[in-house]
Amino acid sequence: MKFLLILINIYLLVKCDNNVDIPSQSVNRTVVPYNTIVGYASTNVEAYSNGNDSQTTTEYNSLYGIFMGIKWQCVEYARRWLFIRKGCVFDSIDGAADIWTQIDYVQRVDNKKCFSVKKYSNGSPNPPRNESLLIYNRSGIALPFGHVAIIVDVLSNSIRVAEENYDSYLWIGNYSREIPYKYLNGNYYIEDKYPIAGWISIIDYNQTKPLDQYTINNIIKLNGTSPDFICSNNSIYHFISFYSYLIFIFVLLKNYYM
């Protein structure tokens, strides 16, 4: 049992990328300590520093009793941004890259209303959309579980994103990085060092809104328990992926100690 707990802790610590070296524009090189705010996006969604490459934690973050994720991972920020700005959350996933393949709906927390999502592959004829989730694929040692950021602004030839666990630098504005994109042969390509799956937009028909005090009070009445995620069920994917990972770690450790 103790060995299994060790494997689970290892799994949790590497679910998201750890301070990956993705090139960016307009970066402030002021390093911020762990658990310190690095900036704000979309008016009121703060992002926290995850420290440095050696910083690991198994602490969880909740907001108004609703689970957000592991501090201060990219998935935690994406879920918290979605919660604060749209009152919705997405289901549990094993890594940031799995949002692309496993998340087809988000759910409003206070009444369980479901909203579908629209996925635009990198190289889509549709331009990047503001308030979309930008999903990175898994990519070797640098991005073993991918990465996710929030597109908070779309300019004529670049996007601005907000995120956690990319680096520990203080933001220079209301975004963490500016990433170029190009329009080529009728398609839009966001250009970064590591492969991008695409961006995901919430199809809400203007029915979602930022949290207000009335909604917060209703959520608090849930007594600190997240409602069941009824919009979709990726538990089978989660189960298979989780235990496949445990088997991989077990074989790795077994070979190491033999």
Is 231 among the residues known to form the active site?
Answer: no
φ and ψ at 167, to 5 degrees?
Answer: -150, -175
**In sequence order, what are the beta bridge partners of 143?**
139
CA–CA separation, 180 and 195 (whole Å): 14
**In sequence order, what are the beta bridge partners of 135?**
148, 198
Q: What is the number of residues in the chain? A: 258
CA–CA separation, 129 and 203 (whole Å): 12
Q: Which of 74, 88, 114, 231 is catalytic?
A: 74
**In sequence order, what are the beta bridge partners of 89?**
107
| DSSP annotation string for 92-124 | --SSTTHHHHH--EEEETTT--EEEEEEEETTB
- The helix, strand and coil proportions of the chain, stated in percent and rounded to the nearest 5, come to 25, 30, 50
CA–CA separation, 78 and 83 (whole Å): 9
Radius of gyration of the chain (CA): 18
- Three-state DSSP at 254 gives helix
* Helix (H), strand (E) at residue 148: strand 147-154
Residue entry with tokens 């608090």: 220
Q: Which residues are catalytic?
A: 74
